[in-house]
Amino acid sequence: MPNPTDPSQLDAEALYGVLLQQVRGGLAGVANAAIVGIHSGGAWLAERLARDLGLEARLGVLDVSFYRDDFAEKGLHADIKPTQINFDVNGATILLVDDVLYTGRTTRAAINELFDYGRPARIMLAALADRGSRQLPVAADFVAAKVELDQSRALVLGRNDDGQFTLTIDDHHA
């Protein structure tokens, strides 16, 4: 697993390739698998993973805004999207996908929302990058890179018009 010393040099496409190989191996032989991405970066990754793994019919997207424990503090972001899960969650092995794993609060919120749709047999977590500093006991099953950043900085996944991923560092994130 890459462990870059300079986060500004992260190649999102190369990291996606690492993540895809990990997920492909981890889901090999798994029956009733589905992929659910967390809006927005995780949803972009989930869409591409589903396409590359032939799971487009078992793709869902979550927007966890209303499920976050800091909702009152953060409020709603401007680009809220409706959750879309068009398959039976009961008994499924769900690959939950996020772009950056940080405190664990988004993952907790996503799991809470998933359980509103049914009881999966298993939930696995995939993230493009893990930046540590967990506030909850959450660990990814699949992660392409571990990155250390100051708490005042954010790692931001972008997607170009051609569908290619980019990672940038936002120095104005508090």
Query: Mind listing the pLDDT tens digit of every residue in the chain (174 residues)?
Result: 444 446 667 899 999 999 999 999 999 999 999 999 999 899 999 999 999 999 999 999 999 988 877 655 555 555 667 899 999 999 999 999 999 999 999 999 999 999 999 999 999 999 999 999 999 999 999 999 999 888 899 999 999 999 999 999 988 654
HSE-CB for 112 with a 13 A CA cutoff: 13
The torsion angle over the Cα atoms of residues 15, 169, 138 and 60, rounded to 10 degrees, is: -60
Report the relative pairing of strands 154-159 and 165-170 from DSSP bridges.
Answer: antiparallel
Note the pLDDT of residue 73.
Answer: 57
State the amino acid at position 54 in one-letter form: G
